[in-house]
Amino acid sequence: MPTARQLSGRDNEIRAADYLKRHGYRIIERNYRIRMGEIDIIAMDQDTLVFVEVKSKTSSAFGGPKDAVTFQKQRRISKTALQYLKMMHQSHVRARFDVVAITSGPTGDVIELIKNAFALSTY
């Protein structure tokens, strides 16, 4: 049975996918998982393959959601993305990493799309 946190995360990923669709992205895959990691959303933005990390917070007291994408998280997403490209025979495509940051507050939610949030990191 999923925890409340898992349910909230799943709900935020659905909201992020809907947001991306409204902004012209075409969703290819959600919750892509392999042994080394997970990518929340894989989508196309025109001619660019985009690996999207969804982060949400209810407070910015300890930094916003985009601050939660640490270097270690970036490295894990990068390695997972490289494996995806290899498995799908898509190593020739243009790709980037975006973050959808969802901040919930008393006046409602704020959804922010950060394009090119970080560079490929494999070290």
Enclosing domain of residue 95: 4-118
Say whether pLDDT at 113 is over 90.
yes
SS3 category, 41: strand
Judged by average pLDDT, the poorest of 18-27, 51-60, 61-70 is 61-70
Q: Using one digit for the tens of pLDDT, what is the confidence trace for 86-97?
A: 999 988 899 999
Within-domain flag for 79: yes
Within-domain flag for 98: yes
Q: Residue 1 is which amino acid?
A: M
Within-domain flag for 65: yes
CATH code of the domain containing 13: 3.40.1350.10
Within-domain flag for 61: yes
Q: Show Cβ contacts of residue 118 under 8 Å, excluding neighbours closer than 6 positions.
A: 69, 74, 97, 99
Say whether pLDDT at 123 is over 60.
no
Query: What's the pLDDT score for residue 69?
Result: 86
Q: Please list, residue by residue across 81-105, b when 16 or more beta carbons sit within 10 angstroms of its beta carbon and e when fewer do.
A: bbbbbeeeeeeeeebbbbbbbbbee
Within-domain flag for 123: no
Number of domains in the chain: 1
